[in-house]
Amino acid sequence: MTLSRRDFLGLSSGGLFLSACQLTPPQYPALKRARVIVVGGGFGGLNVAKAIKRLAPECPVTLIDRDLSYTRCLGSNLVIGGFASEQSLQQDLPSPLAAKNITFQVGEVVRVSHNPSRLHLADGQTLPFDRLILSPGIDFRWDQVPGMEESLSGQIPHAYKGGQAGLLAYQIKHMRQGGTLIITAPQNPYRCPPGPYERASLVAAYFKQHNPKAKILILDAKSRFSKQKAFTAAWDRYYPDMIEWISYETEGEMDHVDAPKRTVHMAFNRFRADVLNVIPPQKAGRLGEQLGLTDASGWCDVDPMTFESRRHPRIHVIGDAATIGPMPKSAFAAQAQARACAVAVIQSLLGRPPLEPRLINHCYSFIDQQHAISITGVYGFKAGSQELITLSQGETPPGALGETEAAEAQGWYQLILEQTFG
């Protein structure tokens, strides 16, 4: 069978991405000349750089990150619960990229200029580009947590972005017997919607063994949360009386945090913690704002068909930083978007119309090492429109906390780590 590049890309935008990649595509001079730069060595950035290289090996791709290594959040709740080491979250960036013929450069991207399109690094270097793909992750809205600021997170960790999982794990391990861990969960949208509740579950698994009278209080800015029925059923079964979830409806909004006293003041009450984990409200990584790509919501506004910014042509944004219809912000979603974005960028470099992507998110949460729950969403375009909608969704039923799902979750972790960092 002869496969045209158009057929090839068509296959690639759907679930046949991997099988399509086994075939050798034809070479195109337009792709050979293209200068594609990816910013961000996380789940979105690495996967889009690799997908472009797989689809168009002739296309030169440079990936820039501010660091030589990447600290994963995926799997960090296992570290916080004492089930994995902090070191296991570290991923080396340069060698896997070199193996895929992707140029890696360390640098802090600070701005872009147009006509001609150039990327500017903090050290003064400039790099010309034809297509720029950003996956800069998230930043915190410290201004929305009175009493807290970035510098205090050394004592009151968020553990929601690079490098604090070990610190929170240490504090939990050294908490007094019968003490209280408070986790504050932010308003939507934010990175990994089930993250705070998986964290509570895994810490409860630790407390059950080492600090059985300890309590976990979740002070939530929301009135419901992801996989709520399955989490609640699991907590009743495995951690009765240990985890208490307090919704926005019960205690109102957070007023302020008294950091020295580790006390959270809500509208109607105050709660004192032995260990305090404030997960602040979030917005796109600062780069989105610096490049003028964010809207009033604080997230990057993109066309979900191509991931191209609605504010700047030829700049695409994927992963947590972007609003991609109703898709949640997860590593799985970032990888799915990365693959679809690779197809969109190649189509556009070839002067061809976009191909409609079908996107999937599947997200596991551990209850303990033996039990996990999951949620799946399939996203596509409303007929005849540019609007990305949820086509179908499903989650673990509350009564079905399976060991099978924990094994599947482990298998998926290994697969995405291999595909992203291998």
Positions touching ligand FAD (CB under 6 A) are 39-45, 64-67, 70, 73-74, 76-77, 108-109, 135-137, 160, 191-192, 195, 285, 287, 319-321, 329-332, 334, 363-364
Cβ nearer to ligand FAD, comparing 39 with 266: 39
Cβ nearer to ligand FAD, comparing 79 with 264: 79
Tally of residues, the chain: 422
Cβ nearer to ligand FAD, comparing 8 with 379: 379
Measure Cα distances from 39 to 42, 177, 292, 420 in Å.
Answer: 9, 45, 15, 15
Cβ nearer to ligand FAD, comparing 144 with 263: 144
SS3 279: coil
Q: How far is the CB of 8 from ligand FAD (least distance, A)?
A: 25
Cβ nearer to ligand FAD, comparing 239 with 364: 364
Q: What spatial distance separates the first Cα and last Cα of the chain, rounded to whole Å?
A: 31
Q: Give yes or no for a contact between 183 and 279, defined as CB atoms under 8 angstroms apart.
A: yes
CA-CA distance, 165 to 97, in Å (whole number)?
Answer: 26
SS3 234: helix
SS3 286: helix
CA-CA distance, 134 to 36, in Å (whole number)?
Answer: 11
Cβ nearer to ligand FAD, comparing 10 with 402: 402
Q: Give yes or no for a contact between 203 and 157, defined as CB atoms under 8 angstroms apart.
A: no
Q: How far is the CB of 311 from ligand FAD (least distance, A)?
A: 17
Cβ nearer to ligand FAD, comparing 77 with 211: 77
Q: How far is the CB of 352 from ligand FAD (least distance, A)?
A: 26
Q: How far is the CB of 413 from ligand FAD (least distance, A)?
A: 8
Cβ nearer to ligand FAD, comparing 131 with 191: 191
Q: How far is the CB of 136 from ligand FAD (least distance, A)?
A: 4
Angle at CA of residue 367, ends 361 and 373, nearest 5°: 35
Q: How far is the CB of 48 from ligand FAD (least distance, A)?
A: 9
CA-CA distance, 113 to 14, in Å (whole number)?
Answer: 34
- Residues in Cβ contact with 298 at an 8 Å cutoff, skipping those fewer than 6 apart: 141, 282, 283, 284, 289
The two tokens of residue 33 are: 């000349």
Q: Give yes or no for a contact between 372 and 366, defined as CB atoms under 8 angstroms apart.
A: yes
Q: Which residue has the tokens 């979603």?
A: 333
The two tokens of residue 360 are: 């999937």
Q: How far is the CB of 133 from ligand FAD (least distance, A)?
A: 10
CA-CA distance, 316 to 348, in Å (whole number)?
Answer: 12
Q: How far is the CB of 6 from ligand FAD (least distance, A)?
A: 29
Q: How far is the CB of 227 from ligand FAD (least distance, A)?
A: 12
Cβ nearer to ligand FAD, comparing 45 with 60: 45
Q: Give yes or no for a contact between 107 and 125, defined as CB atoms under 8 angstroms apart.
A: yes
φ, ψ of residue 307 in degrees (nearest 5): 70, 15
Residue 180 CB coordination number (10 Å)? 18
